[in-house]
Amino acid sequence: MTLNVVELFSSIEGEGSRQGFPCSFLRLYDCNIRCSYCDTTYSYDGAPHESMTLEEVAHALRQMGHRYITITGGEPLLQAPAVVALIKMLSAEGSYEFNIETNGTLLPPLITDNVFYTYDYKCPSSLVEDMMNLDVFQHMTSRDVLKFVVGSIDDLYTMRDIIATYHPIASVFVSPVFGAIEPKTIVEFLLEHKLDDVKVQLQIHKFIWDPSATGV
């Protein structure tokens, strides 16, 4: 069994519930949607990638030596059988904790105590909201993260309505499309609408490194 890999690197978690912690990253190739503001266009449409065996990927992650591992893309669940096999392989060896960053179109293939999902609900400015799989709300756990990346006021109202409709059990985060909306606007919206269970986040890796840098 193999995985199509774009990047393997060590950095810090730039967002979400583990923001700021050292982490190993596995970025997988290909995506089934095309968000208008995508910042990882180098992960699909024929971009350079390598087919690696599970043991090769596992060895690289072991060498990095971090307990936290984030599997991202593209859309990593397009390679779900191999992702699950990799997690089971590494879980049998040590106390790794996995974050799978997914775009909200596919259901989670593995629910265990050492795996959580970061679901990225796509708001209207993404131009792909109609591809969201609303069944994911039934599969979320309290370990998971529901992330809204917003680029407009309309996106913020969509976030508010989704939360009110589905009452997600996951932790809810909101962040701006980089350069498209002022973080202050998001804060003011949360305060005005009493969204006390939503946490504002900024992608700190884009402030530490160049926003367009890869492998960070």
Kindly report, residue by residue over 65-86, the tens digit of the pLDDT. 999 999 999 999 999 999 999 9
pTM of the shown model = 0.93
214 lies in some domain: no
- Whether 74 has a binding-site annotation, put simply, is yes
Q: Decide the pairing of beta strands 50-53 and 2-12.
A: antiparallel
* Predicted pLDDT at 10: 97
- Whether 123 has a binding-site annotation, put simply, is no
215 lies in some domain: no
141-183 pLDDT, tens digit each? 999 999 999 999 999 999 999 999 999 999 999 999 988 899 9
pLDDT value at 211 more than 70: no
* CATH at 154: 3.20.20.70
- Whether 71 has a binding-site annotation, put simply, is no
Domain count of the fold of the chain = 1
Burial bucket for residue 176 (CB in 10 Å: 0-12, 13-18, 19+):
buried
126 lies in some domain: yes
- Whether 37 has a binding-site annotation, put simply, is yes
Residue 200's domain comprises: 2-208
166 lies in some domain: yes
Tokens of 58: 């596992």
Across the range 15-40, mean pLDDT stands at 96
The C-alpha atoms of residue 164 and residue 174 are separated, in whole angstroms, by 15
Residue whose token pair is 């095309």: 34
213 lies in some domain: no
Q: How far is CA 205 from the centre of its chain?
A: 14
DSSP H or E segment with residue 188: helix 183-192
pLDDT value at 18 more than 80: yes
